[in-house]
Amino acid sequence: MGKLKKAAACAGVLAAAGIGEVAYFYRRTMKRGNAKVERTIKMSGTDWSQYTPIMEKRKAFMLAQTHEEVYQTSFDNLKLHATYFPALDENANKKKVAICFHGYTSKGMSDYIGLSDYYLKKGYAMLLPDARAHGESEGEYIGFGCLDRKDALVWIDWVIQELGEDVEIVLHGTSMGGATVLMASGLKLPVQVKGIVSDCAFTSPKEVFTHVLHNMYHLPAFPAIPGADILNKRLAGYGMDECNAKREVAKAKVPILFIHGTKDTFVPYRMCNEIYECCASPKKMFIVEGASHAESYYKDTEGYEKALDEFFEEIM
């Protein structure tokens, strides 16, 4: 009996340790306020300080333009926020809008400072939503694209109502925002959505966090990922692999441009290839050699903008 008691005690300690690991991982990654932008930047491995001058210049230009704060309600009654920039050329023959979805722990007005120079000067209006549990949008639990894709439909509908049935819409997402637009590709999108641009998207929360645990922390996925999956289903209403970009693009009908950097250690470059291979709609790929996570636009601005130009010429 002594051995059985010791074994039971050890099992109890291990179980408690496992529960503690799951709770710690879940709090740090899935809940608003605990998922810190500083930690995300550190994990991404990108040296953003080298791009500070150009980002400050473009932010000043961006904020000098007319813009307004917009609020809508999500399918589960959260108050969602976005910032809207009308097109600079009011006399443009076509009404074009880029709805841009930011990355994990960021917000709408952060990730598209650089690309605002491209879109606004090309005659596009821009809508920059804050994802649920980010920025000024409500929500306690992060959607990781799985819930955010439904929020994307809310913003698409707002644009159509605001600008009319003849508007042409592009969805552009970076990192978690990239996963959002790819996961949205499997939904029935309005005909006004002409194309999707995905920059360094992951396949699913389960797969990207498994990668992070293995490669950055040298930890096994068990029990953190299965435990977080159970918690998230109960608390946030979705599973960690319930929505996977690979499965969703297999149902896509809208053309997609895939962008990724070869030196991305946060969301591995292989994920881009995996999603691309599963994509059923017309597709193109632009790969930036040596770019780390979300760095592609700044690493090769000319090439990135050329890839956008060519893609939009085909689809708009």
| Range with lowest mean pLDDT among 18-22, 49-53, 154-158 | 18-22
Helical segments of 164-203, H only = 176-184
Paired tokens of 80: 């969602």
**180, 248 in Cβ contact below 8 A?**
no
Q: pLDDT band for 271, please (50, 70, 90 cuts).
A: very high
* Residue at 172: amino acid letter: H
Paired tokens of 91: 């006399």
- 3-class SS of residue 169: strand
pLDDT tens digits, 97-120: 999 999 999 999 999 999 999 999
Q: Average pLDDT of 298-314? A: 98
Q: pLDDT band for 247, please (50, 70, 90 cuts).
A: very high
* Residue at 274: amino acid letter: E
Q: pLDDT band for 44, please (50, 70, 90 cuts).
A: confident
